[in-house]
Amino acid sequence: MTTRHLVSLVTGVLILSVLFPIGLSLWLAHRQVEKRFNEELDIFSSRVALRTERVSDQAKAALTHIASFKGESCSSAHLLAMRRVSYSFRYVQEVLYLKNSIPVCSSLEKESHIPAFPPPMKITRDGYRAWFTAQNDLGIKRYMAALGSDSYIVMIDPASFIDVIPFGAWPIDVAIIGRERNTVVASSGNLDPAILPLIHHETPLRLENRGIQYAIHPFPEMGITIVSWAPTAPLERSWYRQAFIWLPAGIVTGLLAAAFILRILRRLQSPRHRLQDAIDNREINVHYQPIVSLSSGKIVGAEALARWQQADGTFLSPEIFIALAEQTGLTEPLTRLIIETVFEDMGSWLKSHPEQHISINLEASDLASETLPTLLSTLLNRSQISPSQIALELTEREFADPKTSAPIVARYRNAGHSIYIDDFGTGYSSLSYLQNLDVDVLKIDKSFVDALEYKNVTPHIIEMAKTLKLKMVAEGIETTRQEQWLRQHGVHYGQGWLYSKPLPATAFILWAEQRL
């Protein structure tokens, strides 16, 4: 082999050793981008399906709620009840009352002029009737989704079904199509009519047509097919850009950059980092669930509940992010944020209403904090409100080691704070155990309130509290029957959806001012 040939061979091997890894990595990158592209179409369709189901469930709940009205048809009270349903259920635009399928009155008009509804386009498995109609009392030519029972129909804006924001990097459109009549119920863009014959497939289908990638997902149980689509041109442009950027850069630069970026992304996407950012940026807010006197029905205070709203508008369950805070050592900064937010939200209101209080939940690790008592004292002095107006809630778990918890609890009580034992009955509940806890108020867990009629645990808990002269708060009251039973058995206070869901500060104050 001549030198010239050897040089050529070595040069070829060197070129291959440089280009092959880069070409392979770019090919894999393209495959990964394409996979993510398709996954986002599927995920977006699933989110729209979930959204559709939630809107439908709320419409059914609205029908159930208005069906409980017992007064005179189309009276002022009846109209008010329908308007309240339209106001309370966010996706309901209008409520119609029918006689013999003819609208008589609605939440918009005392006398409805809508003609009789035709036979429904679909009857759901649970007996509800569905239409896609432009009939309304306003004379507006706009199609709405309608869901009805025997005497009522609720009107829903079809845009509610697809009001979902894509998370990814590509613009995605979506359409909901009724499977029985190929009716486009809602669409965020212009769907190619050639796709309509394909909606009757029983299994998911993916296809590309005229530079558009379609993901077709049938939901026969809901009577719909969801089609999501996006142009593939950005995908191809992304591939070419990647090739021109990385080929000249070389293997070392590419690998180092990829490793560095992946490391940063993993850190930024870690649950702990997201929670830390949410605390630092004060993205975790507080909602307030009223606590009322069962004897008078008047408000006596509220429980502060942490709420973390996500980018898509949903709220992450407190059980998830509070547990995450405990696992990652972020409990104290989270509790500090909640306490500071309570004083920012409610300081002035508490000062104006010294008979009211706010209870704040503490976790086990908070008891070891040396800074929280100082923080509370500082904020109380600054807001000029009494320590008795800030109660502290601890679960039975926090009292598991009395030798550790007792001195700390005594410190808070000596400072003037009432101590609540939360979720009582789910742990070590007994009279001898309760006697050793230095608490002022016992909260009866929702599970025992739900089981009033078929379990005899709740009366024992109430008697233990009475024996120790503790005030009682029942959690999760949802019916007047539960309220009456608890009041008759001597429970002092209650909270739950019978009175109000947890509310943002402004809404809570408006609610509370009507019930002082």
**Per-residue confidence at 253, pLDDT binned at 50, 70, 90?**
low
Residues, the chain: 516
Pairing of strands 441-444, 315-316: unpaired
- What pLDDT shows up at residue 12? 47
Query: What is the rounded distance in angstroms from the CA atom of residue 46 to the CA atom of residue 428?
Result: 43
- What pLDDT shows up at residue 308? 93
Among the ranges given (345-354, 388-397, 450-459), the one the predictor scored with the smallest mean pLDDT: 450-459
More confident residue, 187 or 237: 187
DSSP 311-349: TTS-EE-HHHHHHHHHHHT-HHHHHHHHHHHHHHHHHHH
More confident residue, 64 or 366: 64
More confident residue, 496 or 35: 496
- What pLDDT shows up at residue 13? 42
**Per-residue confidence at 248, pLDDT binned at 50, 70, 90?**
low
The answer, yes or no, to whether residue 503 has pLDDT greater than 60, is yes
- What pLDDT shows up at residue 35? 76
Among the ranges given (36-40, 130-134, 382-386, 469-473), the one the predictor scored with the smallest mean pLDDT: 36-40
Of these ranges, 15-19, 226-230, 358-362, the one predicted with the greatest mean pLDDT is 358-362
More confident residue, 415 or 365: 415
Percent with pLDDT over 70 in the chain? 82
Query: What is the rounded distance in angstroms from the CA atom of residue 117 to the CA atom of residue 132?
Result: 11
Instruction: Specify the long-range contacts of residues 453-462, CB closer than 8 Å, at least 24 apart.
Output: 457/425, 458/425, 458/489, 459/489, 461/424, 461/425, 461/429, 462/489, 462/490, 462/491
**Per-residue confidence at 9, pLDDT binned at 50, 70, 90?**
very low
Q: Give pLDDT tens digits for 409-438.
A: 888 999 999 999 887 766 555 555 667 777
Q: Give pLDDT tens digits for 203-220.
A: 888 888 888 888 888 877
Q: Give pLDDT tens digits for 380-395.
A: 999 999 999 999 998 8
The distance between the two most distant Cα atoms of the chain, rounded to a whole number of Å, is 107
- What pLDDT shows up at residue 214? 87
Query: What is the rounded distance in angstroms from the CA atom of residue 391 to the CA atom of residue 372?
Result: 14
- What pLDDT shows up at residue 11? 42
Smallest CA-to-CA distance from 392 within 434, 361, 357 is with 361
- What pLDDT shows up at residue 178? 82
- What pLDDT shows up at residue 237? 64
**Contact by Cβ (8 Å): 459, 467:** no
**Per-residue confidence at 89, pLDDT binned at 50, 70, 90?**
very high
Among the ranges given (30-34, 244-248, 366-370, 372-376), the one the predictor scored with the smallest mean pLDDT: 244-248
**Contact by Cβ (8 Å): 106, 112:** yes
The answer, yes or no, to whether residue 342 has pLDDT greater than 70, is yes
- 3-state class (DSSP) for residue 511: helix
Extract the tokens encoding 55. Answer: 């809107």
Give the pLDDT mean for 173-178.
Answer: 85
- What pLDDT shows up at residue 507? 96
The answer, yes or no, to whether residue 312 has pLDDT greater than 70, is yes
- What pLDDT shows up at residue 488? 93
**Contact by Cβ (8 Å): 367, 398:** yes
Q: How far is CA 168 from CA 34, 111, 165, 217, in A?
A: 12, 47, 9, 19
For the chain, the domains span 36-237, 272-513
- What pLDDT shows up at residue 456? 74
Smallest CA-to-CA distance from 364 within 393, 335, 338, 398 is with 398
**Average model confidence (pLDDT) across the chain:** 83
**Contact by Cβ (8 Å): 444, 491:** yes
User: DSSP code of 151?
Assistant: S
The answer, yes or no, to whether residue 3 has pLDDT greater than 50, is no
Does an H or E element contain 13, and which?
helix 3-67
- What pLDDT shows up at residue 263? 60
**Contact by Cβ (8 Å): 457, 425:** yes
Q: Give pLDDT tens digits for 257-299.
A: 555 555 655 555 678 888 888 898 899 999 999 999 999 999 9
Give the pLDDT mean for 71-92.
Answer: 93
- 3-state class (DSSP) for residue 249: coil
The answer, yes or no, to whether residue 222 has pLDDT greater than 80, is no
- What pLDDT shows up at residue 5? 41
Q: 177 Cβ partners below 8 Å, 6+ apart?
A: 183, 184, 185, 191, 196, 199, 224, 225, 226, 227
- What pLDDT shows up at residue 307? 94
The answer, yes or no, to whether residue 304 has pLDDT greater than 90, is yes
- What pLDDT shows up at residue 451? 82
**Contact by Cβ (8 Å): 73, 98:** no
More confident residue, 313 or 262: 313
What's domain 272-513's architecture?
Answer: Alpha-Beta Barrel (3.20)
